[in-house]
Chain A
């Protein structure tokens, strides 16, 4: 099974890759996540070569889960929806091929974090937030990730062009089909701010959104 070369990724090279390369996401293909379908775990000798990336990934993930306001709101919302997130069960730090940063594997209900491509805490925060949104959508709705391009477009919608790029990264379809899918769903999906209630442009507003979420019982019982 193909591996990510000698285990090096952009984090081993000097400096971080440009943001739009790091933001490419992909979902559960064996070419990208070779460890996903491997029959056994890496041998002990090989595993020690990846230990540093994995440890770093685990530490950064822990910090994100404990401190990032976007992530804390998403975790709260998912718990409220019946999908409480367990770090050991629902997250996996793995080596990935290519430049992908992570993905949501709906078949195993797990978020994959590419430990060789996530280089710093800010990047980890963005990847975890993005993938938790996919997980949240999967938890609250019947999303046909693999057969319905409109559903995929909806989960990726934030900015039209980025949504199109995200779809093209995971589906072998033409640009025109991707554009059409995004345009069809854009009006509805752009305005679906769940669970944030708004588009949180920075951490202050993410905290406001979390505050509103925690206040929801009082809110809905008094309007």
Chain B
């Protein structure tokens, strides 16, 4: 996490508002309930929106801490499942090679 000299919220504040509204929409609610069997939790987006606004107006350390913690928790949640396959270190070598029949032209 960068120090507050160069730090800014990870997302623009409008994005937190858009995510909160999306989270609360009927379509998302229904789909989330269908998939997971429980209602979505949208409060954290609202808290993040408040922190973001707080940072914009008053540059408080508390707002920065809160946003960082929240986003780190999201990243951790997304990464907690072990991938089925091994990630590559570089793209496939033959991705850009000409097609086999074109090599003979």
**Chain A nearest CB, measured from B98 CB (Å):** 8
User: Does the CB pair A109–B95 fall under 8 Å?
Assistant: yes
Given contacts A89-B99, A205-B22, contact A139 B75 (CB under 8 A): no
Tell me the B residues contacting A by CB distance below 8 Å: 1-2, 7-12, 15, 18-19, 22, 27-28, 31, 68, 71-72, 75, 78, 81-88, 90-92, 94-100
Cα distance A109–B18 in the bound complex, in angstroms: 37
Question: Please, could you name 18 A-B residue pairs with CB atoms under 8 Å apart, sorted by A?
Answer: A83-B91, A109-B92, A139-B91, A140-B88, A141-B85, A142-B88, A151-B85, A154-B84, A192-B81, A193-B78, A201-B28, A205-B22, A212-B15, A215-B15, A220-B10, A222-B8, A222-B9, A222-B10
A108 at the interface (CB under 8 A from B): yes
In the complex, chain B residues whose CB is within 8 Å of the CB of A142: 85-88
Please name all residues of chain A whose beta carbon is closer than 8 Å to the beta carbon of B15 when the two chains form the complex.
Answer: 211-212, 215
Whether the Cβ atoms of A222 and B7 lie closer than 8 Å is yes
Q: Which A residues fall within an 8 A CB radius of B? A: 81-84, 89, 108-110, 137-144, 150-151, 154, 185, 187-189, 191-193, 197, 201, 205, 208, 211-212, 215, 218-223
| Count, A-B residue pairs, CB within 8 A | 89
